[in-house]
Amino acid sequence: MTGSAEGVDIDAEPTAAERRAVVAKRVESGSADLTEITQLAAAAGYDVVGELTQTRTEDAAFMFGKGKVAELRDLVRRTEANAVIVDNDVGPYQTFNIGGELPEGVEVIDRFTLILEIFGQRANTRKAQLQVELAELRYELPRAEAKASLAKRDERPGFMGLGEYDESVERDIKRQISEIRDELESIAAKEEARREQRRDSGFDLVALAGYTNAGKSTLMRRLAAEIDVDENAERHPDLDTTAESQDMLFTTLGTTTRRAEMEKRDVLLTDTVGFIADLPHWLVESFESTLDSVYRADLVLLVVDASESVEAMREKLVTSHDTLYERNEAPIVTVFNKVDRLAPGELADKRAALSGVAPDPVAVSAKTGAGVAELRDRVESELPEWERERLVLPLSDDAMSLVSWIHDHGHVEEETYADDQVALDFEAKPSIVARARSKAAGLAPAEST
């Protein structure tokens, strides 16, 4: 994936079998964990054929120590890898230096370039494509500025192999960023109008949030009705007909919205792109339009993989809360998913250990369905309260149309007919109750026969 002044072009890629990568990571202390970067590499279509880690302070020239880079070169040769994926934020200077030590043709990819590559592969809607392009441009902008600084300082446009610098490149990137933001704002305005239209129709909006591979899409399929949300001509391309359930990162890049099965209420459940560790602020901001479906929901289900260690769960919960509470005002219900993978007694231990960050989680297995009924009950109890109302209407065609409308937009507790009247006891959102009262006030009295 390469950036250009006119946008982002995707070069011809080798086949999956040819995309052989060594993953590498440097940490300041402790042991480096390569689990997530290996999953990300697999999601991008790489076959991970080698691993390398180092614990030391960052080397300004190579990120790793010079001896470790030599070790990396030998590993690449032995495994015949054609890419090195570094699970760090590698600067352009460091990227050039590492690449200069590797066999010719071996690409050096840092963590964020890999993530953007995955996003580019999964962007199937206009909004998703715009957000990916915005992220890529924001990633490229400081690098373009660095090229300018280095070129001017050394009076050599091609200094360090960074390519010839043209000031128009920087201006073009900034122009494209501005244009993309304007288009995304237009899309966001339309989606906000659609959300309000759904609320006016009696729907509560529930969003699924959480890290990738927490099982959000599987849980959505478990909760959702068989009938997809039908938007007819107004259907937005981000509303896919299904939410995939694959053991793969970023299966859901856009948003998927479906009607969920609740006892009383009509709920639209939205799944969106999963969180991932150590994302920079500029990348999160680039996907702000997609995250609006979480920020502007009536309730958020924060899904956590309960089969992970307590330490991993705590870290992800804290990071998720930081992301959500920054802009979200809706209640958050924590869902411990994949409890079918836990040994007896393990769930109770994790509940106790994580009570500070998840005081009252709902434990479920989206795979087996265990606990899903309890989750539905919890969703209904946490959603904004409904208002109770009793209407007595004259029997007429218009009155029966109103009765049908109330059934569609609320929950009717009792419906009785007597003396040319129909009495309706129901619960609904306050806005729906207000509209029902207004419609009832306009009904003509029943004609006597």
For 307-335, what is each residue's pLDDT tens digit?
999 999 998 898 888 878 767 678 899 99
Identify the band that residue 155 occupies on the pLDDT scale cut at 50, 70 and 90: low
- The answer to whether 421 touches 394, Cβ cutoff 8 Å, is yes
DSSP structural state of residue 10 = -
Domain boundaries, the chain: 2-121, 124-188, 202-382, 387-441
pLDDT number for residue 236: 33
- The answer to whether 218 touches 182, Cβ cutoff 8 Å, is no
Average pLDDT, the chain: 80
pLDDT number for residue 83: 96
pLDDT number for residue 230: 36
Give residue for tokens 């090229």: 147
Which residue numbers belong to the known binding site? 210-217, 252, 271-274, 337-340, 365-367
CA distance 444 to 396: 8
Class of domain 2-121 (CATH, top level): alpha beta
To the nearest 10°, report the CA torsion of 119, 121, 127, 132.
Answer: 40
In terms of CATH, what superfamily is 202-382?
P-loop containing nucleotide triphosphate hydrolases (3.40.50.300)
Q: What is the pTM of this model?
A: 0.65
Runs of H (alpha helix) within 239-287:
281-286
- The answer to whether 316 touches 304, Cβ cutoff 8 Å, is yes
CATH annotation of 387-441: 3.30.70
pLDDT number for residue 14: 52
Task: Report CA-CA distances (Å) from 388 to 14, 48, 263, 266, 437.
Answer: 62, 59, 17, 16, 12
CA dihedral (57, 60, 63, 69) positive or negative: negative
- Decide which of 395 and 3 is more confident: 395
Q: What's the whole-number mean pLDDT along residues 244-253?
A: 44
Identify the band that residue 349 occupies on the pLDDT scale cut at 50, 70 and 90: very high
Q: What percent of the chain lies above the pLDDT cut of 90?
A: 33
Least confident interval from 25-34, 78-87, 288-297: 288-297
pLDDT number for residue 239: 33
Q: What's the whole-number mean pLDDT along residues 37-43?
A: 89
How many CB atoms are located within 10 Å of the residue 88 CB? 19
Select from 288, 76, 66 the least CA-distant residue to 188: 288
pLDDT number for residue 66: 92
- The answer to whether 140 touches 3, Cβ cutoff 8 Å, is yes
Identify the band that residue 231 occupies on the pLDDT scale cut at 50, 70 and 90: very low
Give residue for tokens 């999963």: 274
pLDDT number for residue 125: 75
CA distance 100 to 407: 69
- Decide which of 174 and 278 is more confident: 174
Inter-axis angle of helices 167-200 and 126-154, to 10 degrees?
160
Which residue numbers belong to the known binding site for GTP? 210-217, 271-274, 337-340, 365-367
CA distance 218 to 244: 7
Q: Do domains 2-121 and 387-441 have the same CATH topology?
A: no
Please check the confidence at residue 233 and state whether its pLDDT lies above 80.
Answer: no
Which residue numbers belong to the known binding site for Mg(2+)? 217, 252
pLDDT winner (highest mean) among 17-21, 46-50, 198-202, 407-411: 46-50
pLDDT number for residue 438: 87
